[in-house]
Amino acid sequence: MRTRRITRGLVAAGLMVAVVAPVTQGAQATVTAGDPTQLTSGFYVDPNSNPATWVRNNPNDSRRTAIQNSIASKPMARWFGNWSNPIGTSVGNFVGAADAADKLPVLVAYNIPGRDACGGHSGGGAGTPAAYRTWIHDFAVAIGNRPAVVVIEPDALGDFNCMNADQIAVRNGMLKYAVQQFKDLAPNTWAYLDGGNAGWVAADVMAQRLTGAGLASAHGFTLNVSNYYTTAQTVSYGNAVNGKLSAAKPYVIDTSRNGNGPGSDWCNPPGRKLGTTSRLGGGAEMLLWIKVPGDSDGSCGTGAGIPAGTFSPVLAMHLINGN
């Protein structure tokens, strides 16, 4: 992290900065918690996202230009799970590249044990709660003082209907631990607990679940991750959740695929469209592309035969054309 940018961003945000020593490459500065949007000059465009990699590897495909211009060139999140080994290196390399470019990276932590507990297409996660705690600790350490946005475990609070009380208590313990790791070890990171979407869990119930998972120590919560509800629908839901919390929190909305609103299902439904690209404001604290457009939800809908998380130019073109 460069002292010049820390100072510029924190002064702009009206915050104090305390640098204990000159910062050289590889060194860490001690700073007060800052606003990562003020410490950077825009959102990071991942040159190694699934769409960008596909574009690079398919120079003669007729769909290449459309996918490059509409998707691959846009800021979006990078997802980290049990495929990201070692996690500290994977996260450190990604955040380091963004920091070198003076841009804000968006990361998704997606490795909680029993992930997708309701029988979805993205099951898996760390083998044990202890393994998860080690993993998420290393994730936070790898970010360190560098600016970042982190989404903590999409769907983790929506799955409760498929879990018993003991399982819920264990999961809440892991989520609380995760939130605290980012608060303690990554002071320039805004960490958000995932709060599902407008069509899944009633707002008052989700408020209770967020509270039980440690929302008080998180910066805020995310909505609509990997789903299709419109921004207006999601703002209404987010405000309703906030109305049931003891203290309102900022929230961000995944707009990657909500341009045409929800379809007949959540899993690769036809007729969906790209939404507003990543920006500050827009009815929420931020609108972000969290789900990578063109990555399959699973072998279902228009993505039959395409495993979850796999990029498909066919799915990408459906989103570009809205059909």
Active-site residue, from 99, 194, 254, 297: 297
Q: Three-state SS across the chain?
A: CCHHHHHHHHHHCCCCCCCCCCCCCCCCCCCCCCCCCCCCCCECCCCCCHHHHHHHHCCCCCCHHHHHHHHHCCCCCEEECCCCCCHHHHHHHHHHHHHHCCCECEEEECCCCCECCCCCCCCECCCCHHHHHHHHHHHHHHHCCCCEEEEECCCCCHHHHHCCHHHHHHHHHHHHHHHHHHHHHCCCEEEEEECCCCCCCCHHHHHHHHHHCCHHHCCEEEECCCCCCCHHHHHHHHHHHHHHCCCCCCEEEECCCECCCCCCCCCCCCCCECCCCCEECCCCCEEECCCCCCECCCCCHHHCCCCCCCECHHHHHHHHHCC
Say how many C-beta atoms besides its own lie within 10 A of residue 121's C-beta. Answer: 16
CA–CA separation, 220 and 122 (whole Å): 24
Residues 6+ apart with CB under 8 A from 53: 311
Tokens for 230? 């419109």
Active-site residue, from 46, 99, 116, 295: 116
The type of residue at 230 is T
Active-site residue, from 155, 159, 194, 254: 155
Mark whether 116 is an active-site residue. yes
Strand partners, 311: 295
Say how many C-beta atoms besides its own lie within 10 A of residue 170's C-beta. Answer: 16
CA–CA separation, 26 and 82 (whole Å): 26
Mark whether 99 is an active-site residue. no
Mark whether 35 is an active-site residue. no
Q: Name the residues annotated as catalytic.
A: 116, 155, 297
